[in-house]
Amino acid sequence: MSSWAISKDSDRATRFERNQKIGVLSVIQESNSFSPQKTSIGNFTIATASELLIRIPNANLEFEGSLDEITRCGGEGIAIFNAFALPSGPIELSSLSQLIGLVREHLNPQTSLDGLVLCLHGAMLDEQGHSADLAILRMAREYLENSIPMAVSLDLHANISSEFLDLATIISGYKTNPHVDLNETGRRVVQLLAQVLSGQLKPVMHLEKCPTIFADETLNTSTGVFADILKDCTANLHPSIVDVSIFPCQPWIDSPGVGFGSLCLANGDSQPAIDLTTNMVQEVWRQKKKFKITNLATPEEAIQIAKKSNIRPFIIAEASDAPTAGAAGDSPVMIAAILDSDSDLVTYIPITDAIAVNKCYESQVGAEISLSLGCTIDNRWTKPVLLTATINNFGEGNYNLSGSGYYGMKVSMGRFAVVTCNSMKILITALPCWSADPATWSHAQLNPADAQLIVVRSCSDFRANFPEASATAITLDVLGSTSIKFTELPYKNCRIGTWPIDPTIN
C-alpha cells in the first residue's frame, strides 16, 4: 500500500445492520481519444448469471472485493452486473445505450436494496466526448430512491467532475500506481457505505481540479515528486477527514474539463475537505514541471542500454503503444530496431496482428514463414516490418492474469502464434494482450525468466509485476496514441488552458 494512503476509512469493526441488502455492479472501460478504434458493446466481456455467482479467491478486483467485504460485514451482497472492456477508443453511442439498457435490465428485478456499490473506471467517454461513466451513474441514481446511498469506486486515472459528487454518496479511488489495491478499494467503499447506513458517517465530499496532464510514468505513488506531494499534503489531517482520493487523470482524454483532481471525503465538516483539496492542487500546479521522465531513450539507445545491463530480464516499455491505455499494440518499431541492431539478447516482444496470426495458422509448427508485421490497425506512426521467422507454437482461448495488479481477471488475446526470428521470440496476437502480466507469456508457453530482454507495451503496470527490473526499465521516446509527446498529439477540445499542451502556459 502507498505510504500516503489514509487508514482511518478501513474500520474493520464496521457492520451492516439486520443483514442489509447491498447490490454490486461493475462497468469498467477506459477510453483514449486518439485510439483508431471505437469501443462497441461487442468489446465487453459481460459475466453470465452463473459467472456472477462464482467467487475468484483473492482476485484483485473491485467487484470481488466489494462482495467479499459485504459478506464479512454481515450484509447480503447481490451480484447484479459485471462488464469489462480493454481500453480503446470512446464508446459508440448506440453501444453505450445498449450497455445502459443491460445494466437497467439487471437492476430492475432487484427490490428493497439498502445500498448500491458501483464500480466504474471514471475515464470512459462516449464518441461525442461526454463521460459515459456519468451516464451510467445517472441511470443508477434514477433507479434508486434518493435516500438510498450509493458508493462508487474509481480508477486513479479517472477524470471526474462535480456531477459525480451530486449523484454518488461516497466516492473513493485507488491509492496506488501501479494499481495493486483494486480489491482493497472495493472493500473500502463497502466499509464506508456501512458507516453511512449505520449513521456513523455523515459524508461530505469536495473536489478541486487543476488543468494538468502528466505522463503515467511520473505518477508513482511510492516514490518521486507525486508521492512526495501526496505524503506532504496528507501528513496532518483534520480529524473529520475520512478518505482522500487523487485522480491525476488519463492524459489521452481530449475533453473539456480534463485535469488533475483531488477529492476529499469528510464526516460532517466540509471546510477541512476544501482546505486539503485546494492545497493539494495548488501544490501540484506549483510543481508541475517536476513531473518528468528521466529514463527515455530511442529504440536504438534502449537496446544498447539493455545489452550493458546486468538486470535480466531487462524491461523496455513501449508505453506509446500500450493496449492497457487504449493503443492498438501493433507498432513494429522495436522489432525493426532489433533486426537492425547487432543484439543477440533473447528477447520476448508482443505485437497485435490478426492477419499475420491467420497466415501462421495456414502453416505448421517448425515451418519457416515470411511475414509483414504491424500497422494493421494503426498506421499513423510507423510502417510494417518484413521478416522471415520460424513458427514455434499456436494457441487461443481465455486465461486469467496472475500479476500483482489485476490478479484473477479473465482476459483473452484471441488466437496467437509464437515465432522465432534471430534472437527474438515474437508473440503475435489477434487481440491486444496484457504484455506486462506474466500470465500472458506463460499462456503462450514462454517463461519470462528465460528472456534477457522483454518489451512490454505498458506505461507502468509492469513495475508491479517485474519489480527487480523496474528501476532500470527504459521508456521508448517515440510517437503513438499513448505517447508522452503530448504536444505532438492532435488535442482539440482541451488544448487551450491545459498544461503542457497549451503553449501559452509556463
Q: Domains in the chain, ordered, with CATH?
A: 21-290 (3.40.50.2300), 296-483 (no CATH)
Judge whether 428 and 373 are in contact, CB under 8 Å: yes
Cis peptide bond prior to 251, omega within 30° of 0: no
Among 486, 191, 195, 451, smallest CA distance to 319 is for: 486
**C-alpha grid cell for residue 283?**
501544490
**Residue 216: per-residue pLDDT:** 96
Cis peptide bond prior to 203, omega within 30° of 0: no
Angle value at C-alpha 315, between 312 and 321, nearest 5 degrees: 160
**Residue 1: per-residue pLDDT:** 47
Question: Residue 186 and residue 172: Cα distance in Å, rounded?
Answer: 9
The torsion defined by the Cα of 461, 465, 467 and 468, in degrees rounded to 10, comes to -130
Question: Residue 306 and residue 289: Cα distance in Å, rounded?
Answer: 28
Among 209, 224, 211, 235, smallest CA distance to 177 is for: 224
**Residue 12: per-residue pLDDT:** 45
Specify the residue for cell string 517536476. Answer: 290
Return the beta strands (E) in 127-180 as ranges: 150-154, 170-173
The backbone torsions φ and ψ at residue 111, rounded to the nearest 5 degrees and listed phi first, read -120, 150
**Residue 3: per-residue pLDDT:** 52
Q: Starting at the earlier edge strand, list the strands of the sheet with 76-84.
A: 45-46, 76-84, 21-28, 115-120, 150-154, 170-173
**Residue 124: per-residue pLDDT:** 98
Question: Residue 299 and residue 318: Cα distance in Å, rounded?
Answer: 9
For residue 5, give the H/E element and its range. none
> For the chain, which ranges sit under pLDDT 70?
1-13
For residue 443, give the H/E element and its range. helix 438-443
Question: Residue 458 and residue 216: Cα distance in Å, rounded?
Answer: 10
Angle value at C-alpha 292, between 208 and 253, nearest 5 degrees: 50
pTM of the model: 0.96
Return the beta strands (E) in 76-160 as ranges: 76-84, 115-120, 150-154
**Residue 18: per-residue pLDDT:** 79
**Residue 368: per-residue pLDDT:** 98
Cis peptide bond prior to 178, omega within 30° of 0: yes
The torsion defined by the Cα of 210, 213, 217 and 220, in degrees rounded to 10, comes to 10
**Residue 231: per-residue pLDDT:** 96
Judge whether 22 and 77 are in contact, CB under 8 Å: yes
The number of angstroms, rounded, from the C-alpha of 170 to the middle of its chain's C-alpha atoms is: 21
Q: How many Cβ atoms sit within 10 Å of the Cβ of residue 468?
A: 10
Question: Residue 164 and residue 144: Cα distance in Å, rounded?
Answer: 15
Residues sharing a CB contact under 8 Å with residue 200, sequence separation 6 or more, in sequence order: 14
Judge whether 181 and 221 are in contact, CB under 8 Å: no
Question: Residue 212 and residue 100: Cα distance in Å, rounded?
Answer: 31
